[in-house]
Structure 1
């Protein structure tokens, strides 16, 4: 009897400890050498993982209260921003039913999206609600999206589901493939809502937007909205209204729970790189696991992509308004850094995020999904141009308030579309040349264009069209046919486009033209160019690089 009581007592203590939640706090850390201090803090047991770097070289991060106490002993200056995250989150404003309806009506009117609703976990979908939405999508659009397919089962016996959007979803076609994932980290649901919004955009605009129809007809676009269902469900169990800070999965290891899935990808040399970009301590928030691909979730993702020849991947995380690309495990750039830089520059031009590698923007990372997908198994997968959007700014954190859910999803809609396009052919304006330096009223101007196929497949059957965006401009030769452009190649027109500036156009007026690229008659891209009429008045001019020639110093 005593043994039974002891076992029950011990079990009760263990269960209680497993579900005890530590207070989380947000602090702003100031440093003259941020990367050095982050490395020093790691050695002190304070793991800085995810954070917003300010212009004053500070970093705002969420830490458990015990780590904040360790931080106090280091002598590094910091200030408390939120002293009790749970209390703070519970007091954030929520949208009324009328306000929610207004947001959704705005989404429908401006973006054609009405299927995305607010979930029951602080406005975010629960795991069950994600799956219900996938089932609903299939019921509404059986010719555009597959039934959900399990790519793995977790230790909690939950399924990791994937779906494909394409014009023949139940068939495998020889089309460029892209993949989008989210909730690798369980406390980052804003990425999931951004992915779900994009899915609804493709499905609900298919019959009304020719560009969306072309994209869906000519791509296979896969989605894994919840890669870490156990961790996400754990947050629901502890914080049913949202705000839970659990990050890892729920594997039991050495008396603690969880492996950081985005530190668990191989190959071994990436997972074990010497940059210190993960922890070997099982209780740490960024524990990498006992070996690469030790976890069922990372195994499922790895096995799913094998042989599918994906070209692009976006693995959504939060937060910091960043767009991160490989390498994270090495402190040098990939051989394809020019491609990553071009892709990321085009994408952040749409939402204002900052692009770069993890070690350039935050800190070194090892064992990430991006590095693995890019060239961790080229023999099986080829190179997948994988990147990580970190959704949301400093005030958003891991659980942005309800009023931010739709704006964050919408600001990533353009980048999502772009990354589906460049998985195949995608041609846009690279440069242009007028036949004169300045355009005066009454001038007839000839313009040649250089177009670039930024996509990862060849492009053909292209038409370039010139459109006036100014009442003072008349276009006379507005169309040029382009037979083909190879992947990553360029083409310069030999037959100029011609426009005339009205003789009554005022001097010093901003005029705009639009270059529209069409594939098989469907708009692929639209680029705006501008110029100011007349010859400028030079207020100051210096014609030498040697100041001693024209200046007295």
Structure 2
């Protein structure tokens, strides 16, 4: 999912219609690498509605597909190589002795949520449901704060995972952060400050039906179901919950699909799914300064806008997104940018609604974190993937202070030595010679800084 599709060719190409996959039993899920050199038009590939999971711009795209999809890809004239012929078997082999590939089951996740409240009733709300899934499972949330049952004038932040059922690392990160906040409260001064001065919300399992379905079809982990479990009729199931939001819903058939069998099927209407409607109402009841939506995979931090066309492309807050992402990159090393710059264009996604909908609710600065190297990473790699995202999470909690004021810090200093005039010309800074230093300042806050002044000094008595 590297820097690909930064500038899509919008040329319309005549092609035969090829229907997208309708059934989960059409054969194994495959990982296929498709050649997209600069001479190749990629729009027809995108219009197949497949899940693009990785790639390098002007070189290749990695897509998840069924054997029938592979035939359609090749029939369109693309060169395609099978990287993993059966992804479920491949992931299961990574953790043959582990339940759910080393991740919590749905029932274990629910049990742990309730246990966290039982263990820390003074700093957590009771676990409660914000709505039910299409199959009637509860969407459970919990808040961490020093006065959990009060709605105080404190910055609010919202973490969620598993909107796509085959991406459990987001749930794992939510639980690690939740446990650290509650277990270290009163011990770690930074965590104590955050809990005392923020309202921190968690929805670890956004798509319970899809995740339970993966438990059923692949109890050792590696289940490849992505969508929810709506019965679309005709043997097709599921809506992509990250294409079902109301902002730019159904903008085109590149960033989402109107075909019920597609992995990116957007549903019959915005918020047609009870899961997205429940989270929409939940967001409207709060003033989340920041929302962090966990996904996998690709090691990326994505923000709005998710489509490149005017008047979209970049938000008015693009510089803020860039600076905050640059700060977080020092911890997790992830590539960052708009969805269409880094990965591919998307429409009807959560990020754009959370940021762009400013009538029903205040603006939220929203990110997608695409975590790790695969949907079901090896159990031994899970702790590291969680750990690399803890500091970014704490950083965003800190930033959620109803938007941080101007906070200027020194980013770096460039120095230039010029001793050709008035010096000995050896390229070194010798006694009596001068150098030009250019400091670069970084505003880590949300507000525009004006009238900034700074003083450079050194304790070295030999430097003036």
TM-score grouping bracket, smaller chain normalisation: 0.7 to 0.9
- Contact 1:323–1:390 (CA<8 Å) still a contact in 2? yes
User: Which secondary structure does the structure 2 equivalent of 1:122 belong to?
Assistant: helix
Q: Which has the higher strand share?
A: 1
Q: Is the contact made by 2:144 and 2:199 (CA closer than 8 Å) also made in structure 1?
A: yes
Query: How does 1:229-308 map onto structure 2 within 5 Å?
Result: 229-255=208-234, 256-267=236-247, 270-274=248-252, 276-308=254-286
Unaligned 5+ segments in structure 1 are: 1-16, 96-118, 442-446, 457-486, 504-533, 536-553
Aligned residue among 121, 125, 136 for 1:157 = 136
- Of 431-440 and 137-146, the range deviating more from structure 2: 431-440
- The match for 1:29 is 34
What SS does the corresponding residue of 2:459 show, helix, strand or coil?
strand
The unaligned stretches of length 5 or more in structure 2 are 1-21, 418-427, 432-436
C-alpha separation in 2, matches of 1:261 and 1:36? 28
- Checking the alignment, whether the CA contact within 8 Å between 2:157 and 2:288 is kept in structure 1 is yes
Calculate the aligned-residue CA RMSD, in Å.
3.1
1:498 Cα offset (Å) = 5.5
The farther-off stretch of 320-329 and 271-280 is 271-280
Contact 2:33 2:61 in 1 (8 A): yes
Higher relative contact order (CA 8 A, sep 6+): 2
Give, in angstroms, the shift of residue 411 of structure 1: 0.9
Which residue in the other structure is 2:189 paired with? 210
- Which residue of 362, 372, 387 maps to 1:382? 362
- Scaled by the length of structure 2, the TM-score of the pair is 0.83
Taking the aligned partners of 1:440 and 1:163, their CA distance within structure 2 comes to 62
Q: Give the superposition deviation at 1:330.
A: 4.6
Paired residues of 2:33 and 2:81 also in contact (CA < 8 A): yes
Judged with a 3 Å threshold, the aligned counterparts in structure 2 of structure 1 residues 243 and 497 are, in CA distance, closer, same or farther, namely same
Q: How big is each residue's C-alpha offset from its partner over 1:154-183, in whole Å with a ceiling of 9 and x where there is no partner? A: 121100011111111121111011101111
Matched, 1:403 2:386: no
Partner of 2:295: 317
Out of 407, 423, 438, the position equivalent to 2:400 is: 423
Match of 2:322 in 1: 341
Structure 1 Cα separation of the partners of residues 172 and 62 of structure 2: 24
Q: Is the 8 A contact 2:46 2:254 kept in 1?
A: no
Q: Which has the higher helix share?
A: 1
2:424 corresponds in structure 1 to none
Shift of 1:90: 2.5
Could you tell me which residue of structure 1 aligns to residue 343 of structure 2?
A: 362
Q: Give 1:204 deviation, angstroms.
A: 2.2
CA contact 1:144–1:165 (8 Å) conserved in 2: yes
| Cα distance change, pair 354–451 in 1 and its aligned pair in 2 (3 A) | closer
Matched, 1:80 2:82: yes
Structure 2 residue aligned with 1:5? none
Q: Count the aligned residue pairs.
A: 423
TM-score, normalising length: structure 1: 0.70
Alignment of 1:185-196 (within 5 A): 185-196=164-175
From the superposition, tell whether residues 489 and 205 of structure 1 become closer, same or farther in structure 2 (CA, over 3 Å): farther
Q: Distance in 1 between matches of 2:335 and 2:413?
A: 30
CA distance in 1, matches of 2:39, 2:181: 41
Quick one: distance in 1 between partners of 2:253 and 2:449? 36
Q: Distance in 2 between matches of 1:283 and 1:432?
A: 51
Deviation at 1:55, TM superposition (A): 6.7
Distance 1:120 1:383, change over 3 A: same
Give the whole-Å Cα distance in 1 for the aligned partners of 2:258 and 2:252: 12
The answer as to whether partners of 2:250 and 2:266 remain within 8 angstroms in 1 is: no
Aligned 8 A contact 1:448 1:492 in 2: no
d(CA) in 2 for partners of 1:203 and 1:30?
Answer: 48
Residue 86 of structure 1, CA deviation: 2.5
1:211 aligns to what SS in structure 2? helix
Q: 1:454 is matched with which residue?
A: 444
Using a 3 Å threshold, how does the CA distance of structure 1 residues 300 and 367 change in structure 2: closer, same or farther?
A: same
Q: Name the structure 2 match of 1:173.
A: 152
Listed as ranges, the matches of 1:439-518 within 5 Å are 454-456=444-446, 487-489=447-449, 492=452, 499-501=458-460
